[in-house]
């Protein structure tokens, strides 16, 4: 019964515990569970052999009934039928009743010697080979205790069987006709031979058990390595999306910590403590295992030095023909990244590991190799992005300086885009791209005559036609310049004057308008209405809010208007932070205003007071409309 309870507990734990998934392999190899499964399979095989032996015994009875064997028919019937029944019991237990548990195998290795004793008492040396049967069957179980038990039971059975054979003396040709002869010349030498066979069987079982154990260990190690490699693939896939070294370092730190925890099967409380440091420009940017920046590294000329976990480290900046590698040293896992002999980064984690842990070493080597390429590519990407950013800034400055009226309009629109972009961008990297690309939205106005841009009155139809061309001119100025910023800027430039209802510059409507351009359109109109122009005075902030929200579903994408509502207070702060050089009126917004709870329809007293500074004028909508900015 205790064995049955133990088996049920193991089965319950097996159901509750999720299988370990290692890459595309699903492996769940526990030695205890594997041995239990082998025990059940061996029980079934043993039972089938017993079933066959039972029919063979009945066949022998038939031969005796036909006169081929000359044995007392009554005694032969009793022994053969009893033996057949005992042979059938293991099959009934295993396949009919479906009983499981350790007791089943012990019952079977006890049942078989009892049968052999009965058969030997009648058939004597003719069934001598049967004594090896239970011993050979125990080899299937890889169970040393079961084999010892079977050996003992069989030795006792050999003595009893020889005694009964000499007592009944059913076979006339049996040379061992006395009990003394049966014991001395029959049981004793056969017990010695049986012990020799038992020793061989024991060694075979021991060797097979060791091979099985090694197979389980190797399979689990393959699964462990596969799991580590899969984790490395997942981690590096995420690292590829980083655009700058700081973001990469912050992403790598928890990745390495998680990789070590996974490979070493550490609990959350045992998460390794470490640092990751990557070369950012001419300095090393360092973060801890959580991704938080730390200041540890010291420039030692040709080396980088730091103290971590009460241990001092020093890494050479340049090593001839150095390649990236990972190593275990004095309770630390060290990873160093090199590019053509130049140190581009390193990671140090406090963790004791087995120096013979081949799988961990291989996984770390794969991680190091793949991450080295990512670091190099990130450095190139960062350089390219900085180049695009500088180009965008330069073009924006040229565009700003071309008109005295636009002032810091482009800079403000960029900041508005950064705020509203949280509702349209999928990542911080894309948000930064959006912020920079939005600065170029009016770059095409460089090609528009200054007298049209700064005309103090309403534009003629011909002048307005020229003004509308600035979206085409802007796209052409960007041309086919490579990079994410320029690619996004091309769409924003071309579409930022489109209307949701299709009545914009190019007649594009709804979802066909670039999604980023829809948000820039709101930012552009918001700033233009708040700003002084040669043809208009600035609108009150409340009126601007009402105008933009009223155009939801007509001029603007409803989603962009909803984002505007959430960002309204923050956008007012940005407007105050970057005022035009010639603008005396400032919209002051209290720092204590919570934009999540602020109600633009009921602004604070301070905001109301500040809005009174703006001149109250009547504006002709025919002269100033959001579309003609």
* CA angle at 56 for the pair 51 and 57, rounded to the nearest 5°: 100
pLDDT (0 to 100) of residue 271: 86
DSSP state, residue 506: S
Can you spell out the DSSP letters for 401-446? HT-TTTTTHHHHHHHHHHHHGGGT-SSHHHHHHHHHHHTTTTGGGG
CATH fold match for the domains 244-381 and 402-628: no
Torsion sign over Cα 352, 354, 358, 359: negative
Q: Which CATH class is domain 402-628?
A: mainly alpha
Strands lying side by side in the sheet with 303-308: 298-299, 303-308, 311-316
- The reported pLDDT for the residue numbered 609 is 41
Q: Supply the pLDDT for residue 510.
A: 94
Q: Are strands 303-308 and 25-27 parallel, antiparallel or unpaired?
A: unpaired
DSSP character at residue 66? T
Question: Helix crossing, 470-478 with 484-495: angle to 10°?
Answer: 170
Residue 584 CB: number of other CB atoms within 10 A? Answer: 8
Element (H, E) at 26: strand 25-27
For the domain spanning 244-381, the CATH number is 3.30.450
pLDDT at position 564 is 95
Per this entry, what is the length of the chain? 629
DSSP one-letter string for 149-205: HHHHHHHHHHHHHHHHHHHH---TT-S--SHHHIIIIIIHHHHHHHHHHHHHHHHHH
Instruction: Tell me how far apart the alpha carbons of residues 133 and 116 are, in angstroms, rounded to a whole number.
Output: 9
Which pLDDT value is given to residue 410? 80
Encoded tokens for 116: 């052999």
pLDDT of residue 559: 95
| Rounded Cα–Cα distance for residues 419 and 414 (Å) | 9
**C-alpha distance from residue 461 to each of 452, 458, 467, 469, 494 (Å):** 12, 9, 10, 13, 21
Sole residue written with tokens 């979206």: 471
Q: Which residue has the tokens 């190593």?
A: 327
Rounded to 5°, angle at Cα 330 from 326 and 331: 80
Number of CB atoms found within 10 A of residue 592's CB: 7
Q: Among candidates 45, 24, 138, which has minimal Cα distance to 94?
A: 45
Positions of the chain with pLDDT under 50: 1-29, 583-629
Q: Can you tell me the distance from the alpha carbon of 269 to that of 327, in angstroms, rounded to the nearest whole number?
A: 24
73 touches 63 (CB < 8 A): no
Q: 403 - beta bridge partners?
A: none
Measured from the Cβ of residue 82, the count of other Cβ atoms closer than 10 Å reads 15
Helix (H, G, I), strand (E, B) or coil at 296: coil
What's the burial of 557, exposed, middle or buried (CB within 10 Å: 0-12/13-18/19+)?
A: buried
Domain ranges of the chain: 2-217, 244-381, 402-628
Per-residue pLDDT tens for 173-184?
677 778 888 888
At residue 10, the pLDDT reads 40
- Contact (CB, 8 A) for 596 and 584: no
């Amino acid at each position: 019964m205790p064995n049955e309870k133990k088996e049920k507990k193991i089965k319950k734990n097996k159901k509750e515990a999720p299988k370990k998934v290692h890459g595309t392999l699903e492996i769940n190899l526990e030695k205890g569970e594997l041995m239990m499964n082998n025990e059940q399979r061996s029980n079934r095989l043993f039972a089938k052999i017993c079933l066959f032996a039972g029919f063979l015994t009945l066949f022998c009875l038939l031969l005796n009934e036909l006169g081929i064997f000359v044995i007392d028919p009554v005694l032969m019937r009793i022994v053969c039928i009893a033996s057949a029944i005992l042979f059938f019991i293991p099959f009934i237990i295993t396949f009919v009743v479906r009983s499981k548990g350790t007791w089943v195998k012990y019952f079977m290795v006890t049942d078989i010697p009892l049968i052999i004793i009965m058969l030997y008492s009648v058939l004597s040396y003719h069934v001598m080979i049967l004594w090896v049967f239970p011993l050979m069957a125990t080899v299937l179980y890889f169970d040393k205790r079961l084999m010892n038990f079977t050996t003992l039971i069989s030795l006792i059975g050999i003595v009893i069987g020889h005694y009964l054979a000499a007592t009944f003396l059913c076979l006339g040709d049996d040379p061992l006709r006395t009990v003394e002869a049966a014991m001395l010349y029959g049981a004793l030498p056969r017990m010695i031979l049986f012990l020799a066979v038992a020793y061989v069987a024991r060694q075979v079982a021991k060797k097979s058990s060791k091979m099985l154990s090694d197979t389980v260990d190797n399979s689990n190690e393959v699964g462990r390595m596969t799991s580590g490699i899969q984790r490395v693939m997942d981690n590096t896939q995420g690292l590829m999306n980083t655009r700058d070294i700081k973001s990469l370092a912050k992403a790598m730190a928890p990745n390495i910590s998680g990789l070590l925890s996974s490979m070493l099967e550490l609990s959350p409380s045992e998460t390794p403590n470490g640092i990751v440091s990557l070369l950012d420009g001419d300095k090393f940017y360092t973060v801890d295992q959580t991704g938080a920046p730390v200041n540890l590294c010291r420039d030692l000329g040709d080396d980088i030095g730091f103290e971590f976990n009460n241990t001092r480290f020093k890494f050479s900046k340049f090593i001839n023909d150095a390649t990236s590698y990972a190593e275990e040293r004095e309770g630390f896992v060290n990873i160093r990244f090199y590019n053509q002999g130049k140190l581009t980064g390193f990671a140090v984690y406090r963790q004791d590991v087995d120096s013979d842990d081949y799988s961990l070493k291989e996984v770390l080597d794969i991680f190091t190799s793949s991450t080295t390429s990512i670091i190099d590519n990130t450095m190139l990407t960062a350089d390219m992005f900085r180049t695009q950013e500088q180009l965008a800034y330069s073009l924006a400055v040229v565009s700003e300086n071309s008109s005295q009226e636009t002032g810091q309009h482009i800079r403000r629109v960029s900041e508005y885009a950064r705020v509203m972009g949280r509702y349209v961008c999928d990542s911080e990297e894309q948000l930064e791209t959006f912020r920079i690309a939005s600065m170029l939205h009016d770059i095409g106005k460089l090609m528009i005559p200054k007298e049209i841009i700064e005309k103090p009155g309403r534009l003629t139809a011909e002048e307005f036609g020229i003004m509308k061309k600035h979206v085409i001119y802007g796209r052409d100025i960007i041309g086919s310049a490579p990079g994410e910023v320029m690619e996004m800027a091309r769409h924003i430039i071309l579409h930022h004057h489109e209307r949701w209802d299709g009545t914009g510059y190019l007649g594009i409507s709804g979802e066909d308008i670039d999604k980023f351009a829809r948000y820039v359109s709101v930012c552009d109109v918001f700033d233009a209405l708040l700003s002084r122009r040669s043809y208009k005075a600035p609108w009150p902030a409340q009126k601007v809010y009402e105008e933009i929200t009223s155009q939801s579903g007509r001029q603007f994408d409803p989603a962009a208007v909803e984002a505007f509502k959430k960002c309204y207070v923050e956008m007012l702060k940005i407007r105050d932070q970057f005022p035009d050089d010639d603008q005396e009126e400032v919209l002051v917004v209290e720092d204590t205003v919570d934009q999540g709870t602020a109600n633009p329809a009921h602004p604070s007293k301070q905001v109301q007071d500040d809005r009174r500074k703006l001149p109250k004028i009547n504006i002709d909508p025919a002269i100033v409309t959001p579309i003609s900015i």
